[in-house]
Chains A and B, each alone.
Chain A
């Protein structure tokens, strides 16, 4: 099966070469047969990548320890569930997994638009195949996952061998979320290839109008949703497995995942300027280009060892390949832009400084500033070494200080932006939309302050969270009220009806509510507390309102590991409340340790109990207990964001417009110089 997998990968490489070279020839000659054959080569590339990926999984499931990658990342007793995750637990497999996910996207695009957009698709096909070709080059010639295991035999001659068992999977990865976190994150990274391909393809083809934006909106949102879910799942994994009581450590790999998310979010907002007003065309194209390049940069940072990271399980010397690919990509983007920049001429006009357009510009500015600040902070150790010869570390305290103010400004705009009118917002409208929400936020802030919620950033975050939530709920309320007046249905039914009539708008509001929950959860971090104590059986420790009593310890042998467990009784006041079971696991094959944190989670706070290990002096078990307020809101926010994105992806139930029947958005030529749509309508109706 390893030979089969290698062969499938090699054939995929050949097909990708044809899809690129043939695709370029098809664009030049416009020969229909050539266009068709390159499209089919693209489909074949994807099919062959699927075969190669399934072959590698088959090798894991059949414990084939003649393959080096399987030996390094699996063992016989590894549960089947984790044999799936072993695929992406190392460099070679994760790169193949990248190709696999990209192939799913590419195949979906090729099938979805097989008979549509004939002028654009050959360009898009070439760009997608070009990206696939890069990863297939790595899969085949740099980091092949199908390398046979070899060892020096008699006389020092290398010979192929088969091991009786493998080294096992890194214990930190043996957790259910590790089976879903990387696929989500990688789906985000790879998914941004599609809007990139459409943007570059449209620029190269000088494809008219805003149609490429409409075509890619779904794909961008899907990629963004996966990226968001992947980041939050990673944070939850760090929280539940690493036993440090936190969820985000500003590690370079975490930062790498945040960078394209920030520019992708900026794009999802600024794209509306192009759709609605024909503005910011150059900016949007470059935002997509940057998002894709940041995906590549993130992968480069993660795997090249340029910056030190705790995610060291996937590092090798593939850095120069990524640098070369990013260089070529940037050169192509720049060349296409310089050649066809007149195609991106925008209709930039505003009636007032206070308008939706302005809020989008500031929104984009803040996302970009956050992105550049995170990027420059991540790379600062490298820069400082270049300039001064000393490597200066940049850790979590720096990133928190720099990014929290920017984050709060973004949160403020989340409330303000959507309720500003396009072109111009009147003073009355500002008062109507923001007066009560602002007062509500300040009132809640004042009460919170009295109750001791006094950390500056947390209090500001709380006020803004209430303000933003209030603006959004008011918007739902007003819309639902109009429908209710007509239909007489309940408010909830009317709110659902309202959402389904304009899924994009109200899905967006739900996403904003999700972000409010996330910020609320982050605000709680200022009030985290922790206590660490060596405990004898029967001894107790106090944290907040909870008393933890160590009842006993036991050892639980499992198939793949031995768990040492503490049985901890929790009392709230003096009332027995529950038992908690923090664990320390020692994995048998690689003798590495893992932690299973016991968490009692409520909307108010998390009681987070870690069996830290054994005190080397007293030989007593050590319990490290944390009381982390509001953490659950972060995960709740993540679920809400995903839900909102899914709503926004649904088609509208029916048109809400009365001006004209719903129709396929078509390229609209600019109106005569100096004439606005509202002016013409006003004049026309007079």
Chain B
């Protein structure tokens, strides 16, 4: 085995040795339906901006779901007991509290904008970057390739400046 391969093998082994540190021992626990739906709803106590399922109500007498969040989760259970679907349960809360009850914008109507825009930014930005890069590359490629003529015309000053520029470009 060459020296380089020994180093790489050591490297891989070291990386694998760190795995016991980072692999969780058990699989993730699944939450119940109320908790699931509660994570889509904002706690409406007015003092926190957490979800009904994740409310810890900092600064309150009780750290954990505050009475409002608990009430909302109980309501979810009551709706579920009537056989309502998840969507129907969420809509029941929207009717009671308005659209502010959503923990995240619904994927319909005006709220769709919130979901679509980040992808638009990314795609549009990527197109701009690709356009800019190709223009810069093309600009360079379209220059006259008069190397021989340039070489003859190089003065000591120009060579010195080129060295400085190369130094600057290769420093990091």
Chain A contact residues, CB within 8 Å of chain B = 170-172, 241-246, 249, 251, 272, 275-277, 308-310, 348-353, 357-358, 361-362, 365, 368-369, 372-373, 376-377, 380-381, 384, 387-388, 390-398, 401-402, 406, 422-423, 436, 439-440, 443-444, 447-448, 451-453, 455, 462, 466, 469-470, 473-474, 477, 502, 504-505, 508, 520, 524, 526-527, 529, 532, 544-545, 584, 592-595, 603-605, 610-614, 622, 624, 629-630, 657, 659-660, 665, 668-669, 671-675, 677-681, 683-684, 686
Cβ–Cβ contact A544 & B26, under 8 A: yes
Q: Is B164 an interface residue (CB 8 A)?
A: yes
- Which among B109, B140, B171 is the interface contact of A349 at CB below 8 angstroms? B140
Which residues of chain B are within 8 angstroms of A622 by Cβ–Cβ distance? 62, 64
The answer to whether B136 touches A350 (Cβ under 8 A) is yes
Do the beta carbons of B170 and A422 come within 8 Å of each other?
Answer: yes
Q: Chain A contacts of B50 at CB under 8 A? A: 244, 249, 395
The one of A242, A436, A508, A593 that contacts B61, using a Cβ cutoff of 8 Å? A593
**Within 8 Å CB of B64, what residues of A?**
532, 610, 612-613, 622, 624
Q: Do the beta carbons of B100 and A668 come within 8 Å of each other? A: no
A245 to chain B, nearest CB (A): 7
Q: List chain B positions with a Cβ less than 8 A from chain A.
A: 7-8, 11-12, 15-16, 19-29, 39-40, 42, 47-51, 54, 56, 58-64, 98-106, 109-111, 114-115, 117-118, 121-122, 125-126, 128-129, 132-134, 136-137, 139-140, 143-144, 146-147, 150-151, 154, 158-159, 161-172
Q: Report the bound CA distance from A373 to B115 in whole Å.
A: 10
Q: Which residue of A lies closest to B39 (CB)?
A: A397
Known: A349-B139, A394-B105, A462-B22. A422 touches B169 (CB 8 A): yes
Question: Is the CB–CB distance between B58 and A241 below 8 Å?
Answer: yes
B95 → chain A closest CB, angstroms: 13
Instruction: Check if B122 sits within 8 Å of A380, measured CB to CB.
Output: no
> A395, A473, A604, A679: which contacts B150 (Cβ < 8 A)?
A679
**CB-based contact B151/A377 at 8 Å:** no
What is the distance, in angstroms, from B40's C-beta to the closest C-beta of chain A?
7
Inter-chain contact B161/A393, CB cutoff 8 Å: no
Beta-carbon nearest neighbor of A615 in chain B: B62
Complex contact B165–A443 (CB within 8 A): no
Q: Are A610 and B63 in contact (CB under 8 A)?
A: yes
Q: Which of B42, B59, B154 contacts A172 (CB 8 A)?
A: B59
Q: Are B167 and A660 in contact (CB under 8 A)?
A: yes
Determine chain B's interface SS by DSSP, over half rule: helix
A659 touches B12 (CB 8 A): no
- CB < 8 Å neighbour of A451 from B23, B59, B99, B143: B23
Considering the chains assembled together, what is the distance between the CA atoms of A571 and B120 in angstroms? 51
B22 pairs with A593, CB closer than 8 A: no
- Tell which of B23, B27, B58, B154 touches A680, judged by Cβ atoms closer than 8 Å: B154
Residues of the A chain whose Cβ atoms lie less than 8 Å from the Cβ of B27: 452
Contact residues in B for A660 (Cβ distance below 8 Å): 163-164, 167
B62 touches A242 (CB 8 A): no
Q: Is the CB of A243 within 8 A of B58?
A: yes
A-B contact pairs, 9 of them (CB 8 A): A272-B172, A276-B172, A308-B49, A394-B104, A394-B105, A395-B104, A406-B122, A453-B23, A524-B22
Look across to chain B and name the residue whose beta carbon is closest to the beta carbon of A348: B136
Q: Known pairs A395-B103, A502-B172; list 17 more (Cβ under 8 Å).
A: A242-B63, A244-B54, A244-B56, A246-B54, A358-B129, A394-B104, A395-B51, A397-B39, A444-B15, A520-B22, A524-B24, A529-B28, A593-B59, A605-B24, A613-B63, A657-B167, A675-B150
